[in-house]
Homo-oligomer: A and B are copies of this chain.
């Protein structure tokens, strides 16, 4: 049996009772360490909190390990109970779908334990979840790589008056260019895109378009550490939010569409005062 268990967004107390029961029944516990571990407030201390709570040791599984050793994990799941822990909800990231497909093809029973994800926790700011269009991802620009496919999606959403959730890039355990050239892997330090960088890139991209989908006066909502005890939510124009220090990662950004009076009333509580 393979359990894929969502841990929610805050800390170890955000697991559900169903999830905790499942972890406790497992002989082996893996935890994904490549999407948004940091939002979960995990360090060596945080990890031992989890281990203490579960009464189990946890094997951190980075992207490489999940991709290369999936077969090994699945073989274990064929003969015993294996838990794969995921920050947020199990179906935020593609790789878990891939793991489920492989398990099912091997005839392994898969149980999913759902939890909150960024996709619903952003409801906190008062913008109605059914008034969002397609979610976009904003990748780190480099000198030579500036993919901007997010722009057209934001444009469509705003044309229909819909809000847009922008997920911001996370680079964890990226091999350095130098190491790739030498064929010996060393890794860049992890990088998490800030709201400030995201807005900078958004405003850079919009300049190339005749009928801008948004401007620096467009109302947005910035979220940092959503779901944790010290989460920060600020509503303001792109220009205003660019001046805000949101602190530690993870960050995400919502570009508003048309807002209803009740949505406006909620946003007032988070309005930027600068």
The interface of chain A, by Cβ under 8 A from chain B, is: 6, 8-10, 12-18, 20-21, 89-92, 94, 97-98, 100-101, 104, 112, 114-117, 119-121, 123-124, 126, 128-137, 156, 160, 162, 167, 227, 262-263, 265-266, 269
Which residue on chain B has the smallest CB distance to residue A136?
B130
> Is the beta-carbon distance between A8 and B114 smaller than 8 angstroms?
yes
Number of copies: 2
Chain B residues whose CB sits within 8 angstroms of the CB of A136 once the complex forms: 130
Which residue on chain B has the smallest CB distance to residue A22?
B13
Q: How far is the CA of A114 from the CA of B15 in the complex (A)?
A: 11
Q: How far is the CA of A13 from the CA of B114 in the complex (A)?
A: 12
> Is the beta-carbon distance between A17 and B17 smaller than 8 angstroms?
yes
Q: Which of B90, B101, B128, B134 contacts A133 (CB 8 A)?
A: B134
What are 10 sample pairs from A and B whose C-beta atoms fall under 8 A apart? A91-B124, A92-B129, A94-B128, A97-B262, A101-B266, A101-B269, A114-B121, A115-B115, A132-B134, A134-B160
Chain B residues whose CB sits within 8 angstroms of the CB of A265 once the complex forms: 101
> Is the beta-carbon distance between A101 and B134 smaller than 8 angstroms?
no
Please judge, given known A-B contacts A13-B17, A17-B20, A92-B129, whether A116 and B119 are in contact too, CB under 8 Å. Answer: no
Please judge, given known A-B contacts A101-B266, A128-B94, whether A116 and B6 are in contact too, CB under 8 Å. Answer: yes
Chain B residues whose CB sits within 8 angstroms of the CB of A121 once the complex forms: 89, 114
Q: How far is the CA of A137 from the CA of B129 in the complex (A)?
A: 12
Find the residue from A9, A97, A262 having the highest chain B CB count within 10 A: A97
Chain B residues whose CB sits within 8 angstroms of the CB of A14 once the complex forms: 16-18, 114
Chain B residues whose CB sits within 8 angstroms of the CB of A6 once the complex forms: 116
> Is the beta-carbon distance between B262 and A101 smaller than 8 angstroms?
yes
Q: How far is the CA of A10 from the CA of B15 in the complex (A)?
A: 14
Which residue on chain B has the smallest CB distance to residue A112?
B124
Chain B residues whose CB sits within 8 angstroms of the CB of A91 once the complex forms: 120, 123-124, 129
Which residue on chain B has the smallest CB distance to residue A91?
B123
> Is the beta-carbon distance between A16 and B8 smaller than 8 angstroms?
yes
> Is the beta-carbon distance between A137 and B128 smaller than 8 angstroms?
no
Please judge, given known A-B contacts A121-B114, A124-B91, whether A266 and B129 are in contact too, CB under 8 Å. Answer: no
Q: How far is the CA of A98 from the CA of B134 in the complex (A)?
A: 25
